Structure 1
Amino acid sequence: MVTAVALLAVAVLAGSVALSLFLRSWGVEESRVQARLRDPHTSTVAFAIPNGIDPVILKLALTRAGFTTAIDRVGDAECLRVECAESERAQVRRVIKDIHRNEYDGSEVDFGRVVFEDEH
């Protein structure tokens, strides 16, 4: 009985350490990406996230399309900062425009014309 309790305690401790290490490495990676996207030498665009839209939906769609993204603030707006070359802006617009997300009441969300913060 004592052996079983000791094994359980060791398993819980090992699991906690493994989870802590995973979360730390994930946090370090997110910080590294944020720093790279905020670097003035990195070509990025910022898309203001419309009210009521989950930014993770946008981030996931752009990540699946091969873009590096981070949620950031530009001025007073919460934005999704996307690493892309000038020639890739149209592709980023297309990915955002093609997102079909239903609101909670089931009505379709239309992003309208996708405008980046530097185009205002």
Structure 2
Amino acid sequence: MFVAAAVLITAAVALSVAFALFMRSWVLREKETETRLHDPRTHTIAYAIPNGVDPVVFAVAVDRAGFTHVTERFGNAECIRVECPEAEREHLRSVLESIPVPQYDGSSVSAAHVVFEDER
């Protein structure tokens, strides 16, 4: 009985430590990405997410297209900042324009023309 309890406690401690180490490495990777995207030498593009739309919709599409990104606030707008060389700007624009944006009535439409924050 004592051996079974010791094994269970050891397993619980080992799982807790493994989970903590996983979370720490994930947070450090996210911090590294955010630091790189805020570096002035890294070319980034910001896109203001329409009000009422979950930023994850844009993050998943941008991620699938192979771009690195973070979600943040610029002034009053929630934006997605994407690492994107100038030559890839139109590809990123087409990716964002192809995302179906859900409307309040449950229907969805695609964005007509994506305007980046540096183009305003």
Q: Which residue of 2 aligns with 1:98?
A: 98
Q: What's the RMSD between the two structures over aligned residues? A: 1.5
Q: Deviations over 1:83-104 (max 9, x none)?
A: 0111111111111111125457
Structure richer in strand, relative to its length: 2
Pairing 1:1-120 to 2, within 5 Å after superposition: 1-103=1-103, 105-120=105-120
Change (3 A) 1:14 1:103: farther
Deviating 4+ runs (over 3 angstroms): 101-105
Q: Deviations over 1:2-58 (max 9, x none)?
A: 111111111111111101111111111111111111111110100001111111121
Q: Give the Cα separation in 2 of the matches to 1:37 and 1:105.
A: 35
Partner SS, residue 14 of structure 1: helix
Identity of aligned residues (%): 52
Change (3 A) 1:109 1:12: farther
Aligned length, in residue pairs: 120
In structure 2, stretches of 5+ residues that fail to align are none
Q: Give the Cα separation in 2 of the matches to 1:119 and 1:25.
A: 36
In structure 1, stretches of 5+ residues that fail to align are none
Please report the TM-score for the alignment, with normalisation by the length of structure 1. 0.92
Please report the TM-score for the alignment, with normalisation by the length of structure 2. 0.92
Q: Give the Cα separation in 2 of the matches to 1:70 and 1:62.
A: 10
Change (3 A) 1:7 1:37: same
